[in-house]
Every structure is written in structure tokens, then in C-alpha cells.
Amino acid sequence: MSSPSFLEGNSLAARDAKSLIHAYTNLSVHEKEGPLIIERGKGVHVFDDDGKEYIEGLAGLWCTSFGFGEQELIDAAIEQMQKLPYYHSFASKSTEPSIRLAEKLLDIAPADFSKVFFVNSGSEANDTVVKLVWYYNNAIGRPEKKKIIARMKGYHGVTVAAASMTGLPPLHNDFDLPIQGILHTSCPHYYRFGKEGESEEEFATRMAEELEAQILEEGPDTVAAFIAEPIMGAGGVIIPPVGYFEKIQAVLKKYDILMIADEVICGFGRTGRMWGSQTFDIKPDILSCAKALSSAYLPIAAVMVSEDIFRGMVSQSEKHGAFAHGYTYSGHPVPAAVAMRTMELMEERNILGHVRHVSKRFIERFEGLAEHPLVGEVRACGLIGAVELVADKETKRSFDPKFKAGPKAYEFMQEEGVISRAVAGDNMALCPPLIITESEIDEMFDRFTRGLDRAAQAAFAENWRDG
């Protein structure tokens, strides 16, 4: 972070504080302390404007799968910029990169999808999903079947509809959200919400029973869809308990409710399979994806829909004269070309095989933190994981939020040279670029552990545990 006197003069930090609004930032603190300015990156490393090196342990925002400075992706962007720097997809216009990418996505999809709709971010993808669910049910004569059930601690974005589906209070507080028709069901976090003596599978059964009870209370003819991340990312890297999605999908099928897979974080190799849906045997009717689609080099995201849903869209466009939804940059040829090259590189370099190999070390290092005095639970799958910090390991008691245990641990880790993230309270997450090597994993965890040790020292010295 910048020095306390950073506002003096005309530094980049001072100019930042005077001109920018930062997402997910305490704006009051930022005014006083300023930003960490990242100047360049290479591989899994980034460097600040003072030249300090960090391991980017969260792949930016769960997204930069090929790390920084991948020349193949840079070249793909340059080549397409020179050929056709922009065109749109309105009024039956198209470009070769968007066509090729749509074909590729349908080819590798985890379900039998019919069509792809391109957007620019995961939030836009999930906002589009809401509209399509409503549009489809109107098309097939079910105007009352519109409610969408998400999960507490789920994360689906920040637009009005997507933030409404997100089950995290900060995204609702004083934004007047959630909107009507968006509901939330139980969070499937066994460590936090499992009952004494209850097995993981029994917990999963209870989660499905609670969902069914909620559907029956609302009226099955009013509930249209259920949306879920295969692994809940910003909610704490919560991995579903044994049997969870099998039981949930049985309930959805019973009441003719659409299954929406939010693959924004899990898609494109994060779990060791191309899709989180494959890892956890999810059979979605709609799928949203983004982030690693282009290794985050340029903004692009997508929604894939079944043939039934597409037929409903066709009938509505006939009725109204057009499918009146879209974005200026939907299917932008430059991000589409970069995304297509990203998909090709995944195959050419066997990224899935690499992830499955190095994830063994990643998970082993995470599990090695289980006995740390601050760690209550370790959760990891593929190349995504988190430790949950607790004040009391035996009772699982969380730290009082006033101590900001997670954010402080994050700062210590950053000082030690690894960028992690404190999510959903005091869960410390890692989600490195998929290209990370075993030696880089070890160095990342060495730095992460040093930051965790410093947090433990502070917890003892400042009496975080007792408050």
C-alpha cells in the first residue's frame, strides 16, 4: 500500500485516489491509504510500481488461467484487431471468431446445449439468464412460473438481477436488493451447518428436503429455476457435500424446475475437468461462463441454452418481431478470437492433465494447514481452495467481525508476497493460474503460511479470540 503521505505530489497513487472508484473496497480507507498499483506481470507473478514481486494466488479474480504475458493470446488479439477490430451481432450480423467460438463451446459443453449467447461478463451472463428464464416461461404459457431460487453465500454477480441472486448481504445492503421473485435456500456448507452426528450425505439429504419444502411453500407452479455454482467461490470456496447435486436435481426434476449452472469460476479447467458440472455430475438446462474463457485477457462471457429454451426464444421473437436483448459488444470479434485461442491452447498444452497433476501438491499443501492454530477447516478441489479462520478450533467459533481477521491475514500475506483473498468473512482463498508449477505452488504456500503465522501472532497479541 502507499505511504500515509501518498496524496502529496502527483504520484499514480494520489491520482488514483482523486479519480477512481474501486470495486469491493472500503472507500473511506482507500482515500487515506491509497492503492497497490500493479505495473506488469509474467507467468504467475505480478510486480508493483516499486518493483516488488508477488505470486498472484487468485489468478486476478479467479480468472487469469494462463497467467500473465501469454504471447499466443496477445498475438490473437493483435491479428484480429488488424483484420476486424469490431463488429456486432445485432440484426443477423456475425463474425468468424464468434461463430467458431460458439461451435467450440457447444462441442465441449457438459450438456446437450443448442445455442450460445455472448455477453461481456459473468454478471451480464447471469442477468441474461434471469431474462431468458422469464422469456421462456412466457413463451410456453407459464406466466406465473417465474421465481428463481439461489443459495445463501452463492455469488452470481453485481447487476440488479445477478446481485439479487447472490446470497451475500453486502451486495444487498442499501442497494434495495434482492428484487421480487428471487429467493434463497440453505447454504450447503457441511462444516458450518451440519448438525451433530449428521453425516455429509444426511446433510445433503436435508438440504434437498429444505429446498423441496421451500418450493412447496411457494407453489411449484411459481418456481422456474434453481441456480448454483458447482463450487461456491466468493461465498468461501464451499465444496458441495457428498450426494448434494444428485439430490437437488431430483427435486428440480420432480417439479419441472430448470437447473442453471453458474460456471463463471469453475469453468475451463479449474476443478481438473473442463467444467465443474462434470466434476459434480450436474446436468444443466442453462449454463453461464466467463473469466477463464479468454484467460481474462479481454472481457467475454457466454450463456448456453437447451434446444427447448431456444425454441421458446424463437417463438417469442416471432411474436414480437425480434429477440429484443443484446449488448453492443456481444460476440465482439477480438475477445472471441482470444477466447478461441485460449480454448485451443488448453488442448495443445494439455492444461487439464497439468491441473490434475499439480493439484495433488496444491491440495496436499492446503491439507497441511489443517493443524494451524487459526484454521478451522481446509477445503480444496483442483486448483481452488480456502482455509476458514476461526477463533476456537474445537467449537468452530468465528472471530468477532470487529477484528477483521480475514482482511488482516490478507494484508500479511500480501506483505509476504502472495496475493490471496479474504472471502465471505474469514475464509482465505487461493485460486492460482492453471499454468502454475509444483515449485511455484510450494513457494506460494510458503508465503501464504508466513502470512497466516503473522496473523496468528497478531491474534494472540491483540486478543482477537476473546474479544
Task: Kindly report, residue by residue over 204-230, the tens digit of the pLDDT.
Answer: 999 999 999 999 999 999 999 999 999
Residue that is last in its domain, among 296, 329, 348: 348
Same domain, 98 and 221: yes
Q: Name beta bridge partners: 377.
A: 388
Cα–Cα distance, 403 to 227 (Å, whole number): 33
pLDDT average, residue stretch 347-361: 98
**Residue 463 reports pLDDT greater than 90:** no
Same domain, 130 and 266: yes
- Provide the whole-model pTM: 0.95
Q: How far apart are the two ends of the chain, measured CA to CA in Å?
A: 27
Claim to verify: residue 288 and residue 428 sit in the same structural domain: no
Q: Please name the helix (run of DSSP H) or strand (run of DSSP E) that holds residue 224, with its range, or none.
A: strand 223-228
Burial of 217 from C-beta contacts in 10 A (0-12 / 13-18 / 19+): exposed
Residue range 184-206: average pLDDT?
Answer: 97
Helix (H) or strand (E) holding 122: helix 122-139
**CATH number, domain containing residue 44:** 3.90.1150.10
Using the structure block, give the residue that is written with the C-alpha cell 468477532: 400
Q: What is the pLDDT of residue 465?
A: 65
- Sheet with 384-389, side-by-side order of all strands: 375-381, 384-389, 427-430, 421-423
Q: Do 305 and 362 share a domain, yes or no?
A: no
28 inside domain: no
Residues 323 and 294 in one domain: yes
Contacts of range 41-46, beta carbons closer than 8 Å, 24 or more positions apart: 41/67, 41/68, 41/69, 42/67, 42/68, 42/69, 43/67, 43/68, 43/69, 43/433, 43/435, 44/68, 44/432, 44/433, 44/435, 44/436, 44/440, 44/444, 46/419
* pLDDT tens-place string over residues 397-445: 999 999 999 999 999 999 999 999 999 989 999 999 999 999 999 999 9
CA 313 vs CA 92, 277, 307, 320, 324: distances in Å: 15, 24, 10, 11, 10
Tally of structural domains, the chain: 2
Cis status, amide bond into 333, omega within 30 of 0 = no
Residue with cell 501469454: 70
329/355 same-domain check: no
What is residue 174's predicted lDDT score, i.e. its pLDDT? 97
Last residue of a domain, one of 298, 331, 348: 348
CATH of the domain at 125: 3.40.640.10
CB 262 within 8 A of CB 314: no
Whether 11 is covered by a domain: the verdict is no
12 inside domain: no
Burial annotation 308-332 (CB, 10 A radius, 16+ → b, else e): ebbebbeebeeeeeeeeebbebbbb
Q: Which residues of 101-123 are buried (b: 16+ CB within 10 A; e: fewer)?
A: bbebbeeebbbebebbbbbbbbb
Cα–Cα distance measured from residue 401 to residue 412, given in angstroms and rounded to the nearest whole number: 17
Residue 20 lies in a domain: no
- Of all residues in the chain, what percent carry a pLDDT higher than 90? 95
Asked if 88 contacts 331 with a C-beta cutoff of 8 angstroms, the reply is yes
Q: In terms of domains, do 151 and 221 share one?
A: yes
Q: Tell me how far apart the alpha carbons of residues 112 and 96 are, in angstroms, rounded to a whole number.
A: 23
Report the distance separating Cα 146 and Cα 291, nearest Å: 28
Same domain? 226 vs 89: yes
What residues make up the domain containing 380? 36-69+351-461
Same domain, 138 and 219: yes
The answer to the question of residue 5 being in a domain is: no
pLDDT of residue 2: 52
Grid cell for residue 248? 437437488
pLDDT, tens digit (0-9, with 9 covering 90-100), for 148-183:
999 999 999 999 999 999 999 999 999 999 999 999
Decide if 436 is inside a domain: yes
> 335 pLDDT band (50/70/90 cuts)?
very high
Query: pLDDT, tens digit, for every residue of 299-333?
Result: 999 999 999 999 999 999 999 999 999 999 999 99
Residues 251 and 321 in one domain: yes
Domain assignment present for residue 18? The answer is no
pLDDT, average across residues 41-46: 98
pLDDT band at 460 (very low <50, low <70, confident <90, very high): confident
The last residue of one of the domains, among 300, 315, 348, is 348
Amino acid identity, residue 377? E
Using one digit for the tens of pLDDT, what is the confidence trace for 63-103?
Answer: 999 999 999 999 999 999 999 999 999 999 999 999 999 99
Confidence at residue 7, expressed as pLDDT on a 0 to 100 scale: 66
pLDDT of residue 72: 98
Residue 4 lies in a domain: no
Q: Average the pLDDT over 15-37 and give the result.
A: 93
pLDDT score of 466: 66
Q: What integer pLDDT is reported at residue 215 of this predicted model?
A: 98
Does the pLDDT at position 280 exceed 70? yes
Taking CA atoms, 307 is separated from 134, 141, 303, in Å, by: 16, 17, 13
Is 89 in the same domain as 203?
Answer: yes
Shared-domain flag, residues 255 and 386: no
pLDDT of 3: 53
